[in-house]
Amino acid sequence: MQQALSGMNSRLSSIGGSVVGAGDARTRAQLDRSITRPRVGEVSLSAFAFLFSELVQYSQKHVKGIQDLEKRLNLVGYRVGQRLLELLVFRDRGSKRDVKLLNALLFINTNVWKALFGKPADSLEKSSEHDDEYMISDNDLVVNRYISIPKEMAQLNTGAFVAGIVEAMLDGSGFPARVTAHTVPVAGFPFRTTILIKFDAKVMEREKRLADK
Amino acid sequence: MSYSRPTSTIPVPRYPNGIACIAVVGKQNNPLLIQTFGNAADQELKYHYLAHMSCDYVDEKLRSGSKSGDLYLGLLCTIESQNVYGYMTNTRVKFLIVIPTTVPTKDSEVKAAFDVIHSAYIDLLGNPFYDPDSTQMVASPRFRARLQTLAAPVAS
């Protein structure tokens, strides 16, 4: 809790709480903020965590299994992604459409992650076994930070929400794909989430055609 | 707006009696909004046809391969002394501006007009009750009002 409060450059505001003296530390952090750097587009982390947990609970009431739950979160993320795509392309990309697959993925990797979570994704990899699979990894996905999965649902990864966002962005840009989220623990980062992107065959054909031209 | 959007250095153009029609066409080439202004207000059907025809020109422009993937498509065609300019967003939603050939226009002004339309469309998307995949015409009065101010005759 104290670490969260002392971060001066943390993009997400500190968690309000029942800790005594939290108020003082918070106002001190507020006064130390730089005036020149615009702090627009920031949302309180605690507000988001509550909202997301409620979203997961609500979805759980209406589904009968893990796959269904992931699909539902994916759908919610899809709606967000559709709108986010238009906005981010207009705001950050000037007037350019991504025609190449790699450019679209890089756009997601940096711009989208930065707009959503304040930092670019940790890695973007191409799978060596399958030509049409790519993976975006994040060591500490913000949406998953305050979620702990019970043992019966070990396969669930609520990062399906983010997977939905990515799927909508790729779908909208003309690269239809199936996107899923998986937990891939790695030394030092037990909660590392990998977003697996599997492109449709049509997309790969088109890429090959464009590459040959 | 609470966040900054790119604003063109050219001031928002006003086309008193200039723009005849603004059309928004969805990704399946379904009309989302066809709005006529000024003298042309009673010829909506004609502009429906015009928008429909222009979709073919948009497809042609895309196929002839703009490798740069620019959103602004430029002057698409001239039909019956009306110039049709096109613009396509990332999600294949197209905006068309129809201006009679008698009105002198600069490319940069048209681009600025498209930016305003794009901005209004993004705000429309922000509405959680608007389904971007729907094939219905856009019913949002605020969106229409924004387009109206773009093409409204300048108060003297």
B141 pLDDT exceeds 80? Answer: yes
Using the structure block, give the residue that is written with the tokens 């129809």.
B98
pLDDT digits (tens, 9 = 90+) for B105-118: 788 888 888 888 88
Which residue of B85, B91, B95, B134 to mutate against A (max A Cβ within 10 Å)? B91
For residue B149, being part of any structural domain is answered with: no
Given the cut 0.95, state whether the ipTM is greater than it: no
For residue B122, being part of any structural domain is answered with: yes
Beta strand A133-138 pairing with B31-36: unpaired
- Residues 156-195, chain A, touching B (beta carbon < 8 A): 172-174
The 3-state secondary structure of B88-105, one letter per residue = ECCCCCEEEEEEECCCCC
For residue A108, being part of any structural domain is answered with: yes
For residue A5, being part of any structural domain is answered with: no
CB A90 to CB B68 under 8 A?
no
CB B70 to CB A97 under 8 A?
yes
For residue B1, being part of any structural domain is answered with: no
For residue B6, being part of any structural domain is answered with: no
- Residues 24-63, chain B, touching A (beta carbon < 8 A): none
- So what's the pLDDT on residue A141? 82
How confident is the prediction for chain B on average, in pLDDT? 77
3-state secondary structure of A131: coil
Identity of the residue numbered B32: L
For residue A4, being part of any structural domain is answered with: no
Out of A91, A94, A99, whose CB is closest to B67? A99
Which residue of A95, A112, A213 to mutate against B (max B Cβ within 10 Å)? A95
Cβ-Cβ contacts under 8 Å for B85 (sequence gap 6 or more): B73, B74, B75, B76, B96, B97, B98, B99, B110, B114
Cβ atoms of A86 and B91 closer than 8 Å: yes
B83 pLDDT exceeds 60? Answer: yes
Cβ atoms of B16 and B153 closer than 8 Å: yes
pLDDT digits (tens, 9 = 90+) for A161-211: 989 999 998 988 888 889 988 888 887 887 888 888 898 888 888 888 878
B42: CATH: 3.30.450.70
pLDDT digits (tens, 9 = 90+) for A112-163: 888 888 788 888 888 888 888 888 888 888 888 888 888 888 778 888 898 9
- Structurally, chain B folds into a number of domains equal to 1
DSSP A14-77: PPP-SSTTHHHHHHHHHHHS-SSS--TT---HHHHHHHHHHHHHHHHHT-SSHHHHHHHHHHHH
Cβ-Cβ contacts under 8 Å for B107 (sequence gap 6 or more): B74
For residue A33, being part of any structural domain is answered with: no
A92: CATH: 3.30.1380.20
Out of A38, A90, A99, whose CB is closest to B5? A90
Question: Which of the residue ranges A153-167, A177-191, B27-41, B89-103 would you say has the lowest mean pLDDT?
Answer: B27-41
Cβ atoms of B25 and B32 closer than 8 Å: yes
- So what's the pLDDT on residue A78? 92
Share of chain B above pLDDT 90, in %: 0
Identity of the residue numbered A116: L
Using the structure block, give the residue that is written with the tokens 């707006």.
B1
- Structurally, chain A folds into a number of domains equal to 1
Element (H, E) at B148: helix B141-151
CB B68 to CB A96 under 8 A?
yes
Out of A40, A82, A98, whose CB is closest to B2? A40
Domain around A115? 45-212
For residue A10, being part of any structural domain is answered with: no
Over residues B117-138, the mean pLDDT reads 84
What global pTM score does this model have?
0.77
The 3-state secondary structure of A74-127, one letter per residue = HHHHHHHHHHHHHHHHHHHCCCECCCCHHHHHHHHHHHHHHHHHCCCCCEEEEC
CB B125 to CB A89 under 8 A?
no
Domain around B28? 21-142
Identity of the residue numbered B27: K
- So what's the pLDDT on residue B152? 66
For residue B82, being part of any structural domain is answered with: yes
Nearest-CA residue of chain A relative to B123?
Answer: A87
Burial of B79 (0-12, 13-18, 19+ CB in 10 A): middle
Chain B hits for A83, CB-CB cut-off 8 Å, are: 122, 125-126, 132
- So what's the pLDDT on residue A167? 92
Which residue of A39, A86, A102 to mutate against B (max B Cβ within 10 Å)? A86
For residue A14, being part of any structural domain is answered with: no
pLDDT digits (tens, 9 = 90+) for B50-66: 888 888 888 888 777 65
B104 pLDDT exceeds 80? Answer: no
